[in-house]
């Protein structure tokens, strides 16, 4: 099993949230990634998401994403849980995938709840509208919103039962996602952390590999 965060996509050119060049250095999450911010100014939120969609559309999966897709091919019981909304794991070929924070390519109507994929970049108009007339929002989980219960529960159960959890490219500070790694630790599972920096999970990991996901994952995810 693997749990990934923004760090696995940084080698594809998608910025992380924290750290020296993280998005939260320049932008305030409370202005852009909460339901209140969207109610206040949907156009502003959409401009930011449209900019991120354009960045992601121009990026490709990197050797880290590809290594995890190969691992799933070699071991069909492998599950990948990601906090990322960029869709790069799916593009790399991962199918047994749980997207805890949703997907930036999905649009959901705030009125009728209908959700659909739309990869148009740039989006026109902003904010986009549903056929019912309601405003469409990004199909992601914002701060203050719950992670879909069934996705979270299944991920926690798998973490408690897995043989090995790879925790890749996450600062492990955002809950409940970070709780997936801690569930594995608590139940005595082997946990390998792959990250250039230390995180709150580091002291609890069985092994900590300091380095880039794109360099380390291809070396440890071999099919034999
Ligand atoms: P963060 O931006 O918090 O953390 C990224 C992690 O990736 C850091 O620990 C970096 O050290 C590490 N990193 C950087 N480059 C790396 C590389 N090449 N290989 C491996 N690791 C690398 O991202 P997340 O932990 O994913 O939520 O953030 C969790 C959530 O906070 C996101 O899903 C998002 C954000 O706010 C919402 O928007 C709800």
Per-residue pLDDT tens, the chain, 224 aa: give them: 999 999 999 999 999 999 888 999 898 999 999 999 999 999 999 999 999 999 999 999 999 999 999 999 999 899 999 999 999 999 999 999 999 999 999 999 999 999 999 999 999 999 999 999 999 999 999 999 999 999 999 999 999 999 999 999 999 999 999 999 999 999 999 999 999 999 999 999 999 999 999 999 999 987 65
Predicted confidence at residue 223, as pLDDT, reads 60
Distance from chain centroid for Cα 151: 13
Distance 6 CA to ligand 1 centre (A): 4
Active site (catalytic) residues: 101
Written as six digits, the tokens of 181 are 């790694």
Distance 81 CA to ligand 1 centre (A): 14
| Ligand 1 nearest atom to the CA of residue 29, by list position | 36
The reply to whether ligand 1 has any atom less than 6 angstroms from the CB of 199 is: yes
Predicted confidence at residue 222, as pLDDT, reads 79
Predicted confidence at residue 20, as pLDDT, reads 85
Do the beta carbons of residue 193 and residue 205 sit within 8 Å?
A: yes
Domain that holds residue 147: 2-223
| Ligand 1 nearest atom to the CA of residue 194, by list position | 20
Nearest-CA residue for atom 8 of ligand 1 = 171
The reply to whether ligand 1 has any atom less than 6 angstroms from the CB of 22 is: yes
The CATH number given to whatever domain includes residue 128 is: 3.40.50.1220
Number of domains in the chain: 1
The reply to whether ligand 1 has any atom less than 6 angstroms from the CB of 19 is: yes
The reply to whether ligand 1 has any atom less than 6 angstroms from the CB of 134 is: no
The reply to whether ligand 1 has any atom less than 6 angstroms from the CB of 9 is: no
Distance 173 CA to ligand 1 centre (A): 9
The reply to whether ligand 1 has any atom less than 6 angstroms from the CB of 83 is: yes
Question: 22: how many CB neighbours lie within 10 A of its CB?
Answer: 15
Distance 4 CA to ligand 1 centre (A): 8
Rounded to 10°, the helix 149-161/177-186 angle is: 30
């Amino acid at each position: 099993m693997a749990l990934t965060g923004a760090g696995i996509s940084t080698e594809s050119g998608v910025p992380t949230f924290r750290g020296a060049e993280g998005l939260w250095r320049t932008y305030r999450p409370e202005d852009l990634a909460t339901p209140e911010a969207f109610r206040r100014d949907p156009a502003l939120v959409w401009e930011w998401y449209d900019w991120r969609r354009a960045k992601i559309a121009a990026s490709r999966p990197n050797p880290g994403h590809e290594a995890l897709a190969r691992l799933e091919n070699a071991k069909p019981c492998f599950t990948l849980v990601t906090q990322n909304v960029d869709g790069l794991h799916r593009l790399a070929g991962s199918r047994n995938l749980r997207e805890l924070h949703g997907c930036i390519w999905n649009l959901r109507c705030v009125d009728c709840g209908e959700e659909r994929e739309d990869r148009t970049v740039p989006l026109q108009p902003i904010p986009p509208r549903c056929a019912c007339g309601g405003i469409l929002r990004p199909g992601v989980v914002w701060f203050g919103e719950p992670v879909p219960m069934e996705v979270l529960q299944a991920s926690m159960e798998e973490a408690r039962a897995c043989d090995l959890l790879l925790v890749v490219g996450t600062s492990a500070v955002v809950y409940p996602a970070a709780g997936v790694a801690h569930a594995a630790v608590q139940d005595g599972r082997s946990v390998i952390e792959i990250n250039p920096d230390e995180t709150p999970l580091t002291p609890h990991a069985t092994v900590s590999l300091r380095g880039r996901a794109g360099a380390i994952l291809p070396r440890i995810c071999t099919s034999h």
